[in-house]
Structure 1
């Protein structure tokens, strides 16, 4: 065990930590579950003993990376916590709901315990082509697990198809062959399963000679952009980037208006982890009729919705951060809280209901707003 600790100390440079406490002070979960990355790192480095925090602290981490982007020594406390999770997984010590999600990924290719044969139900009636049927440059729409199976997220995927068809952009999907991107598998510390997913997905992309990829999920975008060593495609885009470029090229012909005050929530895996802040705002600001307003906490200060790092399958007691977020949207007078992530969509949409704001605030993906404006009012 001591050797394992030494490896962790070296890999994560724990001796470089100056104990400033910025990681703990900025952690959105520190108040809710008393998660203290500074203390955990210090104990392991100082005493050379493996110290793993209580379950709800370790698995309560959303892997939002606030600690990482604020660390003055450029360390990654979140990566250290993920390594601790990996140790517990190897020992079989994992919450039941997370175990079930990982097993579902292994068996069905998604964490939602849904059969692979149902992966294309979101596209019923749309006649979406398989990537093998696309001629010329092959643009792959990697739909992702949540937009494929979650009924609310499916509306976003359908909106993207409507938008792309309206501009005549050729694209295809993998259909029932699509697997989980593995981003949350990685965040939960299951390194072996993640590597299997990465290898199989890269082989699938090669098989169909995929030239470019876009996804409506920042978690998939993050995986392809930052975790997929060996992925050879010319372009990887989040749908906010694709929509922004279509606006710049004057390809979106808006026929309707969205008469509403709209605020935007920065998803952690889009903003904090990948510095994509301007494109979603550019899209929203160009939708006819929209009055765009900013929340108090935006960009790198955005409040996490608690959807990342496996938290979609692990509940932490206490008031949800998503409820605080929808309150912030109501306070600035927003009619619509726009998002660009299926996890944020699910958590914030549910929070609007549980917090009693269902009649005051709608939660919508930016693709849904664009699709609405493309239709005649």
Structure 2
């Protein structure tokens, strides 16, 4: 049954999935072998952990490279579901899932504190029956993490500068459940997706704009009945810039490079808008050697924000060293997970005096 539902029979064991996997070189996750074993036998619960299913970041590099459209990343999600059903999951994953169910976010924070990041911004809180152009979905991480709150506040300033009519859900905002779905908790995802869809429709917005690529991807591709236009904030800001509604009066002197978030670039092909914005405010913009579809994963997706890998080294540290080697002083990104993993890598590599991590919205505000 599993082999049929994820098209495993089409696999020709070429190994491109394993070759594309960013964590394969440093962990026991071997995607080709996982497919082969799944075809050959019913894997035991103990074997799934040994084969590294929790190492996967859900970056979908394997899906992109497969010549037979097998979707190996989908297989890993289904195998994780088997572990969730048996209760054989890491305690940190369990805590994130329970917090999502109880509080509407995976960070263990109370719902009534969801809007504290904007307590002095006088935002338009959309009630049922309201009407607006843009429903800004802020994301759990941007709401609760002190570092990422700066990105959300910067985006609010940009939207107001451009005269955009927008509102937020406030305490009614509930996790998009992107990561929970990829952790294997399909039931929780379906329940929250249905609830969120009803909430979005009741606010009568013309479009949904997300701060996180993970929210953008799940609304766009995984919510079955949403039927509303969904945009990542860089797409909206690029549109406003092109229309002349968002103007910049200065340029940033530092050398800037851009890290493509997997869920924005690799999975949804949003490559040009972030670069167009950065080039508009940067005197010196340079590219990573591995960029766009080939961009290196930061290891923040697929639930990995809630589980520490047993493998050695971090891909985000490689990313930081690469940026330093090419004499960049700022790594820009457009994802709260990428921002956190890369900023942590700056600290673990003792590179605070050499490079910093900025969300694109923060850089744009500095150039207003």
Could you state the TM-score of these two structures normalised by the residue count of structure 2?
0.97
1:74 corresponds to which of 57, 60, 69: 69
Task: Look up the match of 2:204.
Answer: 209
Q: Secondary structure at the match of 2:3?
A: helix
1:46 maps to 2:14: no
Asked if structure 2 preserves the Cα contact closer than 8 Å seen for 1:21 and 1:38, the reply is yes
Task: Look up the match of 1:263.
Answer: 257
Q: Secondary structure at the match of 2:204?
A: coil
1:107 maps to 2:102: yes
2:54 corresponds to which of 59, 68, 74: 59
Paired residue total: 366
CA offsets per residue over residues 328-365 of structure 1, 9 Å max, x none?
A: 11111111000010000000011011111111101001
Asked if structure 2 preserves the Cα contact closer than 8 Å seen for 1:114 and 1:149, the reply is yes
1:244 maps to 2:238: yes
Question: What's the CA shift for 1:127?
Answer: 0.7
Instruction: State the distance in 2 between where 1:49 and 1:343 align.
Output: 31
1:220 maps to 2:220: no
Q: Secondary structure at the match of 1:140?
A: strand
> Structure 1's 147 and 56: CA in aligned 2 closer, same or farther, altered over 3 A?
farther
Task: Look up the match of 1:345.
Answer: 339
Matches within 5 A, 1:1-377: 7-47=1-41, 52-54=47-49, 57-132=52-127, 137-233=132-228, 235-287=229-281, 289-317=282-310, 318-374=312-368
Asked if structure 1 preserves the Cα contact closer than 8 Å seen for 2:346 and 2:355, the reply is yes
Instruction: State the distance in 2 between where 1:33 and 1:90 align.
Output: 25
Instruction: State the distance in 2 between where 1:135 and 1:208 align.
Output: 5
Asked if structure 2 preserves the Cα contact closer than 8 Å seen for 1:160 and 1:367, the reply is yes
CA offsets per residue over residues 167-220 of structure 1, 9 Å max, x none?
A: 111100000000000100111010000001100100101222222100110000
> Structure 1's 42 and 55: CA in aligned 2 closer, same or farther, altered over 3 A?
closer
Asked if structure 1 preserves the Cα contact closer than 8 Å seen for 2:212 and 2:336, the reply is yes
Q: Secondary structure at the match of 1:358?
A: coil
Instruction: State the distance in 1 between where 2:87 and 2:177 align.
Output: 19
Q: Please, which runs of 5 or more residues in structure 2 have no aligned partner?
A: none
Instruction: State the distance in 2 between where 1:223 and 1:79 align.
Output: 14
Could you state the TM-score of these two structures normalised by the residue count of structure 1?
0.94
Q: What RMSD in Å do the two structures reach over aligned CA positions?
A: 1.5
CA offsets per residue over residues 295-352 of structure 1, 9 Å max, x none?
A: 1100111110000000000011321110000111111111100001000000001101
CA offsets per residue over residues 120-178 of structure 1, 9 Å max, x none?
A: 01102111111239976431000010000001110000000000111111100000000
Asked if structure 2 preserves the Cα contact closer than 8 Å seen for 1:339 and 1:365, the reply is yes
CA offsets per residue over residues 66-111 of structure 1, 9 Å max, x none?
A: 0000001111101001000000100010000000000000000000
Instruction: State the distance in 2 between where 1:214 and 1:159 align.
Output: 15
CA offsets per residue over residues 8-63 of structure 1, 9 Å max, x none?
A: 01101111100000001110111111211111111221235557432571111000
Instruction: State the distance in 2 between where 1:177 and 1:136 align.
Output: 16
CA offsets per residue over residues 214-256 of structure 1, 9 Å max, x none?
A: 01100000010000111022x2100110111111111112233
Instruction: State the distance in 2 between where 1:167 and 1:49 align.
Output: 54
Asked if structure 2 preserves the Cα contact closer than 8 Å seen for 1:33 and 1:56, the reply is no
Instruction: State the distance in 2 between where 1:68 and 1:271 align.
Output: 14
